Amino acid sequence: MITKRDLHITEVALRDGSHAVAHQFTVEQVRNVARGLDEANVPFIEVSHGDGLGGSSLQFGRSLFDEFELIEAAVDVCQRAKIAVLLLPGIGTQRELKKAAELGAKMARIATHVTEADVSSQHIHLAKELGMETVGFLMMSHMTSVGKLVAQAKLMESYGADTVYMVDSAGTLLPHQVKERIHALRESLDIHVGFHGHNNLSLAMANTLAAIEEGATRIDGSIRCLGAGAGNTQTEVLVSVLDRLNIETGIDIYKMMDVAEDIVAPILQQAQEITRDSLVMGYAGVYSSFLLHAKRASDKFGVDARDILIELGRLKVVGGQEDMIMDVATDLAKRLNS
């Protein structure tokens, strides 16, 4: 078992934050953000479409620039940080993973729904063959029992993952639920355990600290809270809090503050805050990237976005089923007009 405190932060704004800007990051923006994060000594920087490699599509949203251009730009400006990519099997393929590795990506985060870890086997094996640090990413971890979560994590461990993440994709978990899940994972796995939180119920920081208390050693943050829904655990704040707790991250706090204020803030289309839409996502337990899709469907069909999100939660819709949003909005509109 891993017993030594070995905390590493992965910055996800250039991937998860893609949702918040409708996947419109420019090459220059990625270069500037990645350079600033590298200078602040952030160890891992995730870069890809919000839905991972291959995500640029009509279903998930077209990227302004090819994600491989963005990955290459980030690799080019980073002297110390390692570039990570996210891949959801079925959206991204082995071909795209190989290309990301060829461009210099050093970490592969293979993401599946929390009950579908078995579909990650080929991609985890390939990432290991490519010499990449390999992460299993169990999304929507609130949607199954603790026992089943552990069983799925053990599958990823058996495929060769160096780390398995418990992912609160909807920002719906409470701190005691995070502690219970992370504790169970730490007791059951011989690899690193990670946590990725969203802030839809204003609990991302509390949940992240709860995860660290229970032994999570791989933690995600997003500078200026730039992420899907109400954003993720805010990296520059997290680093400051951890310093107050005498937990060393190696990240320069002042530089992170400056990157957040001077480089990332101007990119934001609107402030990352808990709106009624992001709040209802956490309340309903639905995938955080659904927000923009639900708002567009709301405008198109004249139904309340909250009703769309609540219905999606009732139907237990998961990431990769964005096409269901329009179906749900259509049905709600028909009921409203009948």
Render pLDDT for 12-44 as a digit per residue (tens, 0 to 9): 999 999 999 989 999 999 999 999 999 999 999
Helix pair angle (305-314, 276-284), 10° resolution: 10
Q: Is 159 annotated as a binding residue?
A: no
* Active-site residue set: 19
pLDDT tens digits for range 90-107: 999 999 999 999 999 999
Helix (H) or strand (E) holding 108: strand 107-113
CATH code, residues 8-267? 3.20.20.70
Q: In the chain, list all ranges with CATH 3.20.20.70.
A: 8-267
> In this structure, is the dihedral angle defined by the CA atoms of residues 266, 269, 275 and 281, taken in order, positive or negative?
negative
Q: In the chain, list all ranges with CATH 1.10.8.60.
A: 289-337
What is the rounded distance in angstroms from the CA atom of residue 253 to the CA atom of residue 259?
10
In Å, how far are 10, 246, 252, 291, 292 from 241, measured between CA atoms? 16, 9, 13, 29, 31
Which pTM value belongs to this model? 0.91
pLDDT tens digits for range 249-307: 999 999 999 999 999 999 997 888 998 888 998 999 987 777 778 889 999 999 999 99
Q: Is 198 annotated as a binding residue?
A: yes
**Residue 129 three-state SS:** helix
Residue 232 contacts residue 199 (beta carbons within 8 Å): yes
What is the rounded distance in angstroms from the CA atom of residue 137 to the CA atom of residue 151?
14
How many Cα atoms sit within 13 Å of 16 on the Cβ side? Answer: 35
Q: Is 293 annotated as a binding residue?
A: no
Q: Is 5 annotated as a binding residue?
A: no
CATH code, residues 289-337? 1.10.8.60
The answer to which of 71-85, 175-189, 303-317 has the lowest mean pLDDT is 303-317
pLDDT tens digits for range 146-205: 999 999 999 999 999 999 999 999 999 999 999 999 999 999 999 999 999 999 999 999
Q: Is 169 annotated as a binding residue?
A: yes
Which tokens go with 119?
A: 């579909």
